[in-house]
Amino acid sequence: MKLLHRNVPLLSVAQALMMSCNSLIVATAALVGYNLAIDKSLATLPLAVQFVAVMCTSIPAAMVMEKIGRKAAFLIACGFGVGGGVLTSTAIINGNFWLFVCGTALIGIFNGFGNYYRFTAADSVELAYKSKAVSYTMLGGVVAAVAGPTLARMSREWIGDAEFAGSYMAIIFIYLASFAVLSFLHIEDKGSRRSAKKEGGRPIKEIVSQAEYIVALICGTLGYAIMSFVMTATPLAMDQAAFLFADTAIVIQWHVMAMFAPSFFTGTLILRFGVLRIMFIGAVFGILCIAINLLGVSFSHFLMSLIFLGLSWNFLFVGATTLLTETYESSERNKAQAVNDFVIFSTVSVGSLSSGALQNAFGWKTVNLGAIPFLLIIFLAIAWLKRHRNARSE
């Protein structure tokens, strides 16, 4: 509990800073890409490349953390974030699309390390407090819901004719602030690193073949991919529907708020009702999001659907993370977590890139229809695990 009081608040602040940058990028990257790219179908490529970078970093990040410890790895990662801010702002000023893509890749590398904040929080506490530790860490995103889109809106025209260059210059200072916050972490991972080297744990094949691991992976992966798929296309859809950027920023702001505000109580709900029920409700929220988007394209439709999309992501992602932490021992955590995040962000990167292409070629309705089969897979996975657990207890 001592580390819950010390590390979790720090990780929550670090999460807030990381997600503030991410929500700013979500609100602006597709628009910047559209302005800079000659081929407009590549508008969402910068965001997709960011997720590809997260994917490619997931396993190396786990290896680095096992070698030098999580705190040192997090601090080194901040350098990639700063570099990403420098490249993206420079790219916008010079009108260079591919430099902008390179900049988002560096930010993706930072996020590849930062995505371990939630696992670090869970690994800092006893089993009974893991869901709350994950949930409290994710609370940092509530700040991001306000800070990211607001900063994007305020800094949009800071630098002459280079729209959003000021926004990406501002994130340099956010990553520097992350470095300062993370420097206060106290992570007792030397013993676990020695234990991992000595014991090694079970083979990764045995870990990932567990029913709980499979369902955690499916729900975490598809829940995140659906959220990214719909969210990435939203700024483009709203722009094509003749909404002002201020309207888009408000929608993204409420979406990010819905992603993280439930973390005040998600952990408690999981403890009370069980992780499978909470993930099931998350999938129901996803269906509501798609249904609203298919009913119309007014501001209210975009706002309500993105709120339900955020709620869906929170219940599925926090639930899946909690379920995953039940499937491995301390000596196995790095490889178990690395495989999970590698699969998640492989899928998310494909979703981000394809959403822009689908939006350009076929429109908003097709984007939303494309998410329905994956929600059905989530429902089936949850039902399968529930039946598997019932059979196991008989």
The answer to whether the beta carbons of residues 34 and 43 sit under 8 Å apart is yes
Gap between the Cα atoms of 133 and 347, Å rounded: 26
Q: What is the pTM of this model?
A: 0.76
Give pLDDT, residue 268.
Answer: 86
pLDDT digits (tens, 9 = 90+) for 264-321: 788 889 989 999 999 999 999 999 999 999 999 999 999 999 999 999 999 999 999 9
Residue numbers in the chain where pLDDT is lower than 70: 1-5, 127-128, 188-200, 394
Q: Please list the alpha-helical segments (H only) found in 241-371.
A: 245-260, 266-273, 275-295, 299-324, 333-361, 364-369
Can you give 143-159 as a three-state secondary structure string? HHHHHHHHHHHHHCCCC
CB burial string 227-256: b at 16+ within 10 A, e below = bbbbbbbbbbbbbeeebebebbbbbbbbbb
CA trace torsion 92, 94, 99, 101 (10° rounding): 30
Architecture category of domain 2-393 in CATH:
Up-down Bundle (1.20)
Gap between the Cα atoms of 381 and 66, Å rounded: 32
Report the sign of the C-alpha dihedral through residues 155, 157, 158, 159, in that order.
Answer: positive
Gap between the Cα atoms of 281 and 274, Å rounded: 11
Give pLDDT, residue 5.
Answer: 62
For 125, the 3-state DSSP assignment is coil
Contacts of 305 (CB under 8 A, 6+ apart): 230, 288, 289, 290, 292, 293
DSSP 256: H
Give pLDDT, residue 196.
Answer: 47
Domain ranges within the chain, ordered by starting residue: 2-393
